[in-house]
Each structure stands twice: as C-alpha cells, then as structure tokens.
Chain A
C-alpha cells in the first residue's frame, strides 16, 4: 500500500465524514487527517503480512451454542 499523504488523508476525512454525517470543518479535518495518516501506517504494516485466503477473522458470529448432547427428536434422525 503506498504511503498516504496528509492531503489524501484530509480529502478522505472530508468525504467520509459527509458519508456518515459527522460535521467536519477544515480545522477538524486537519487534525483528523493526522490520525488517519497514522492509522494508515499501521494498516500498511498489516497489508505487508501474509494472509491466506482462508485466514478468517478472529471472532465469528455464532447463531447459538452448539448442543451439548443429541436429543431424542434431534439431529441425525
């Protein structure tokens, strides 16, 4: 991932703030852009880590706990 310039980070701050309806004046955009650029450096490090397509996220949604014991009218019948 190429390094993010402060100008790009500022542009991202202004456009994405509009997308999620967060008020953003130019002074705030400047400060927020600094943090976006910092996070971008961490994100770039993670981009450089090798991940296989089957590497799944750390936590997965579980619809309900798996049943401890089969029930008489339950699975497998």
Chain B
C-alpha cells in the first residue's frame, strides 16, 4: 500500500480504532523492539474518545485528529516523571504540565500513546541504555536503532505509531532516522520551542518530528510551530507553514552534493544513497561545506562542556547511578578548560557566517546522514574506507557539522543495495529557516519512490 493510500485509509478510522491498532501493534512487537519506556493507555483512550466525541458533534477537527504518537522520554508529560533516559531523574517530581510541543500536538488532535527510550540525557548515538535496555532496530533485531532518539525512530519503523517526537543536538533525530529507515526533520535552531523538554546542550538543542511519510512529517511540523518568547533559544517570530507548498517540486532549485569531508567519511552504502538522491533531484555539482571538521570539533567541545556542567551536581553525588557508557564523558566535559569552550563559541559565529555565505549560491545540499548502516548492538568500532573509528561518537560525524551551524535538515530513508537490506539516511540540508525547501525535495523523493519507509518483518 502506498504511503498516501495508507494515510487515507487510516484517516477513515475513528481515533479509538486507530489507537486500538497502535496499542495492539505495540503489545505484539515491543517486547522485541523495546522502543517504549511507558505506554499511557488511560490518557490515550481519554484523548481518543475526546476526538471522536468532537467528530460526532460535527466540530472542526485539527489536522492530526486521531493520529497516535509518542515522545522521547525527555518531553514533559503532565503527572509523569521526565526520565530523560536516566535513573537519577526518577527522584524528580512529576511534570506539572505537558511540554509545549506536546500541547501543540494535542491542539492538532493527535493522541499521545507513550514515552520512548533514549540514550541517558541524550548523550549518545546508539540508545544502548543500561537502565532501560537497548532499543533494537526493527529492520534487523540485534542491530542498533541509533540515538539518542532511538525509541522514537524504532517506534515509527516498527509501525507502532506513525509519528514521534525526538531531540537533536548533534544528530539525535537524523542518526536514528537513518539507521531505522524513517523520515526525520531537524528544524532550524530556534524554530520550535524547547520549553518543557529536559535539556542537554542549551546552545545546540533542537526538537523535531520523526514520521512514516513526508505528509505526516510536514503536517506535524506545521502543528508544532509556535513562536515562544519564554524559550530563550526560540528565535522564530512567526509561523511559516510548509504543507501548502509541499508538492511544488524542486525545479529551479540550485542543488549540490557535498564532497570533501562528507564524502571521505561516508562508507560505500552511504555514498550510494547520496548519489541516488542526487541523481533523482538532478544534482551533479560537488560542493564543499566550509570547515566541516572544525564545525564538528566546535560542536564536540561545546557539547562536552555544557553537558558536563549541567549535571555537575549529580556527578558529584551520584556518579555511580549514571549510564556507564557516558558518565566518564560527562565528567570529562565538566573538567575541560574554559578556554576550549570559549574558543569553540567564538569559532561558531565565524563558522555560521561561512555556512550562510555558502547558501547564497545553493538552495539545497545533499549528504549522507551516517557513515554506515546500523551496526550490531555492542559494536565498539566501525570501519569507514579503511579508517577505524569508535562507533558511539562516530555515528554522528556527518550530522554534527550541520547542526553546529543550525541549518534545517530532513533525513530521507534510502535502501541502497550495498547496505544489504538495511536503510541509510540522506540529509537534505537548506539555509536557516528554509525547511520548506528540504520538505519539498523530500516529497519529490517520496513520490518518485527513491526514498520511502518499508514494513519491518516482525
């Protein structure tokens, strides 16, 4: 069934029918996937019944009426404790209200089904969470789902929900979207409100949707938009909806494929995926992203310092309660010299200006989202073109330079033969505030069946 006809038949169902299907799918599959850390059955039924009651009264319904969705467990959910993948947060009081983005999806009629697994405090690209268990890739159990929004991408890939919310500081939406073969959007830094989400790196944190198809991704993104003066990192002054222009295609756009760093650090499957997208969008010019390696260095240093500083109190008191895979990185970040951090922040302004200059000449740039397809859970090292890299930090080496500049990116799911049945994502990167162009390209790729989700054989 095509994504479009699947959407149409789903929309014909009542909210309660759709919720019943989602819960049945979660019950049948989550023992093997481990995407969910909590299923909120009572709340979900209450929300679904309310949507159906409004429909029965003939009221105008929101654009996502009756759509089941779930959120990474760093989003506040009223009356629930916001775990952010940690054990330490279990002692926090429950959230008083929903996060702003959860409120926005509620207004649009979507039905919250539960909370999803993640790397502790979002510091990781693998969702190998020691406290709550590893999330498995629905397309190959025993392989990584990616992270840190691994539960979000896996839940969509396993068809448990058509939509999930995640966060992305250095690639945490794009990496799991790539490994799980689903659509992900990391919007412009400052586009969506982060209020009511547990922070990781204030200077770089973004939130965004992961979805089964481009129409759902765009509709959710439009519903999530809300200028929020109470979030100091929210720079959007007004809503800029994209749904109306989604079908406009890419004719006339200046599209290039990133070479240099993005080619050198991509394995054969990632290169093939990028080439397939470039060919489908008629792009042949190779473009060099300015200072990509320095951009990654900048993001790495800022992340370590801010992440470590944020948790310093708990690291003093309860280091043994932290995730063993990341606690020493947090501590190292808290101990690094201030001069490193300040220099990284100074470089970031120069870097941003160079990247924005590049977008005076290009509308959309193409690059792989991950160097390789999903490695097995527990993998310590990956090999990319004969170079050995530590697996956990290196899965984000192609996403980090882009989020350091704050550009919006759609990750498109591609299935190159070289990945032997696994997906790999391709980043569609545009200038800040031009999510519309990335989503238009995504829609074109979906319509031409170059990029698409696949049913997981579970």
Q: Is B342 an interface residue (CB 8 A)?
A: yes
Q: Is B315 an interface residue (CB 8 A)?
A: yes
Chain A: residues with CB nearer than 8 A to chain B?
12-13, 16-17, 20-24, 28, 31-36, 38-40, 42-43, 45-47, 49, 51, 55-59
Give the Cβ gap from B433 to chain A, nearest Cβ, in Å. 17
Q: A39-B304, A58-B348 are in contact. Are A49 and B331 (CB under 8 A)?
A: no
Q: A43-B343, A49-B291, A57-B348 are in contact. Are A35 and B297 (CB under 8 A)?
A: no
Chain B interface residue number, banded: 35 or more
Q: Is B294 an interface residue (CB 8 A)?
A: yes
Contact partner of B332 (CB less than 8 A), chosen from A13, A45, A55, A58, is A13
CB-based nearest A residue for B343? A46
B window 378-394: CB within 8 A of A: 393
CB-based nearest A residue for B336? A39
> Which of chain A's residues have a CB closer than 8 A to the CB of B332?
13, 32-33, 35-36, 39
> Which of chain B's residues have a CB closer than 8 A to the CB of A47?
343
Once bound together, how far apart are the Cα atoms of A42 and B350, in whole Å? 17
> Which of chain B's residues have a CB closer than 8 A to the CB of A17?
331, 335
Give the Cβ gap from A65 to chain B, nearest Cβ, in Å. 8
User: What are the 8 A-B residue pairs with the smallest beta carbon separation, nearest first?
Assistant: A35-B332, A42-B297, A57-B345, A58-B348, A43-B340, A16-B335, A31-B328, A45-B297
> Which of chain B's residues have a CB closer than 8 A to the CB of A35?
304, 328-329, 331-333
20 contacts between A and B (CB under 8 A): A12-B335, A20-B316, A20-B334, A22-B319, A31-B328, A33-B332, A35-B331, A35-B332, A39-B332, A39-B340, A42-B296, A43-B297, A43-B340, A46-B344, A49-B291, A55-B347, A56-B346, A57-B345, A57-B349, A59-B203
CB <8 Å contact, B335 and A20: yes
Given contacts A39-B332, A49-B347, A59-B203, 11 further A-B contacts (CB under 8 A): A13-B335, A16-B335, A22-B335, A23-B319, A36-B336, A39-B336, A40-B340, A43-B337, A45-B294, A51-B343, A58-B203
Q: Is B236 an interface residue (CB 8 A)?
A: no
Q: A13-B335, A28-B328, A39-B301 are in contact. Are A46 and B316 (CB under 8 A)?
A: no
> Which of chain B's residues have a CB closer than 8 A to the CB of A21?
316
> Which of chain A's residues have a CB closer than 8 A to the CB of B298?
46
Interface centre among B329, B335, B336, B344 (most CB of A within 10 A): B335
Q: Is B293 an interface residue (CB 8 A)?
A: yes
Give the Cβ gap from A55 to chain B, nearest Cβ, in Å. 5
Give the Cβ gap from B364 to chain A, nearest Cβ, in Å. 24
CB-based nearest B residue for A27? B328
Give the Cβ gap from B405 to chain A, nearest Cβ, in Å. 10
Q: A16-B335, A32-B335 are in contact. Are A58 and B352 (CB under 8 A)?
A: yes
Once bound together, how far apart are the Cα atoms of A53 and B435, in whole Å? 34
Contact partner of A22 (CB less than 8 A), chosen from B315, B347, B348, is B315
CB-based nearest B residue for A12? B335
Give the Cβ gap from B340 to chain A, nearest Cβ, in Å. 4
Once bound together, how far apart are the Cα atoms of A56 and B316, in whole Å? 32
Interface centre among B304, B328, B332, B393 (most CB of A within 10 A): B332
CB <8 Å contact, B346 and A51: yes
Give the Cβ gap from B237 to chain A, nearest Cβ, in Å. 11
Give the Cβ gap from A37 to chain B, nearest Cβ, in Å. 9
Q: Is B300 an interface residue (CB 8 A)?
A: yes
CB <8 Å contact, B328 and A46: no
> Which of chain A's residues have a CB closer than 8 A to the CB of B419?
none
Q: Is B312 an interface residue (CB 8 A)?
A: yes
CB-based nearest A residue for B305? A39
> Which of chain A's residues have a CB closer than 8 A to the CB of B342?
57
Once bound together, how far apart are the Cα atoms of A32 and B340, in whole Å? 17
CB <8 Å contact, A20 and B328: no
Contact partner of B349 (CB less than 8 A), chosen from A12, A40, A55, is A55
Give the Cβ gap from A68 to chain B, nearest Cβ, in Å. 12
CB-based nearest B residue for A37? B332
> Which of chain A's residues have a CB closer than 8 A to the CB of B346?
51, 55-58
> Which of chain B's residues have a CB closer than 8 A to the CB of A45?
293-294, 297
> Which of chain A's residues have a CB closer than 8 A to the CB of B349?
55-58
Q: A21-B316, A59-B203 are in contact. Are A46 and B347 (CB under 8 A)?
A: yes
